[in-house]
Amino acid sequence: MNNAGIMLIISAPSGTGKSTLIRRLSQEFDSFSFSISCTTRAPRPGEQDGREYHFLTEQDFLAKRDQGYFAEWALVHDNFYGTPKQATEDVLQAGRDIIFDIDVQGARQLKKNMGQGCYVFIFPPSPGILEKRLAGRGTDSRETIQRRLKNAKEEIANSSWFDHWIINDNLAIAHDQLRAIYLAEKTRPKYLHTWREKFQTEWRLS
Ligand code: ADP
Ligand code: 5GP
């Protein structure tokens, strides 16, 4: 795809701190759009349809999936999640950057289907701390937390292919690392071709 917007994909076991880190990065840079996924899970207190997610019934989700509406989709903790394809392409074509909070299977599919992006996996500092963060969020039942922990093991087992790993122990350091990855990614010539073209046109370079 020929564009100047970058895709920054963040994956991590639920409770690691993805949303916290993404929120911080989005507050710091206004060049970002957040990829609003569709999901069949129920909204958590404070979540708004069209802001954190598009909340769909399973029937609507499956109909969209069958129409090829998603760039990737996955069944995570017994709920469906998917990234709208057209919305992603529109953002990139407008030259804006887009940040994704998706699971490991979805990230792999996205890489295959879109053929681009910078893929970042975030680790919790330890299994015990992950458990504490999940419980500390206070939004999920005991049973949900157990399911999320089981999933965490699978995600960590499948994290070797990512471009970057961040350990979210000290939040300020993890944020600095994510910020550094984003800023370095933006310097890649493939995103800056229009910049070079200005010189080529003006100076008639080949
Ligand atoms: P995720 O989006 O990965 O599910 P959240 O961003 O909701 O995770 O974070 C889960 C909980 O852990 C939240 O209560 C958040 O405030 C807390 N948290 C996130 N990062 C850190 C950190 N580095 N140190 C301590 N607590 C953290
Ligand atoms: P939560 O229900 O806590 O918001 O998210 C649960 C998991 O679903 C997280 O690991 C999150 O990254 C993942 N997720 C959110 N949106 C998508 C999506 O569009 N596609 C995929 N594959 N996973 C998603």
Q: What's the pLDDT tens digit per position in 95-129? A: 899 999 999 999 999 999 999 999 999 999 999 99
pLDDT at residue 97, rounded to an integer: 95
**Cα–Cα dist 28/107, whole Å:** 24
Where in the chain is CATH 3.40.50.300?
Answer: 1-31+95-206
Tell me which ligand sits closest to the C-alpha of residue 175: 1
Distant-in-sequence, close-in-space partners of 156: CB < 8 Å, separation ≥ 6 = 13, 123
Question: Looking at residue 139, what is its pLDDT?
Answer: 79
Burial zone of 11 (CB within 10 Å; 0-12 exposed, 13-18 middle, 19+ buried): buried
Whether the CB of 81 sits within 6 Å of ligand 2: yes
Ligand nearest to the CA of 134: 1
What single letter denotes the amino acid at residue 18? K
Residue 205 corresponds to which tokens in the numbers above? Answer: 């370079």
**What CATH number should be reported for the domain whose range is 35-94?**
3.30.63.10
pLDDT confidence of residue 2: 44
70, 77, 103, 110: which to mutate for ligand 2, most atoms within 8 A of CB? 103
**Which atom from ligand 2 is nearest to the alpha carbon of 41?**
2
Q: How many helices (DSSP H) and strands (DSSP E) are in the chain?
A: 8, 9
CA of 53 relative to ligand 2 center, distance in Å: 10
Ligand 1 centroid – CA 199 distance (Å): 45
User: For the purposes of burial, counting CB atoms within 10 Å of the CB of 153, is it exposed (0-12), middle (13-18) or buried (19 or more)?
Assistant: exposed
The whole-number pLDDT of residue 113 equals 94
Question: Which pLDDT value is given to residue 4?
Answer: 75
**How far, in Å, from the CA of 15 to the mean position of ligand 1?**
6
All residue ranges of the chain with pLDDT < 50 are 1-3
Predicted local confidence at residue 140, as pLDDT:
82
Ligand 1 centroid to residue 141 C-alpha, Å? 17
- How many whole angstroms separate alpha carbon 44 and alpha carbon 189? 41
Best residue among 137, 139, 145, 169 to mutate for probing ligand 1, ranked by most atoms within 8 Å of CB = 137
Atom nearest to 14 CA in ligand 2: 10
- Nearest to 67, CA basis, from 49, 55, 84: 84
| Superfamily of domain covering 1-31+95-206 | P-loop containing nucleotide triphosphate hydrolases (3.40.50.300)
Q: What stretch(es) of the chain map to CATH 3.30.63.10?
A: 35-94
Give nearest CA residue, ligand 2 atom 12: 102
The answer to whether the CB of 62 falls within 8 A of the CB of 78 is: no
Q: How far is the CA of 50 from the centre of ligand 2 (A)?
A: 15
Q: What count of residues does the chain have? A: 206
pLDDT of residue 170: 98
Sign of CA dihedral 184, 189, 191, 196: positive
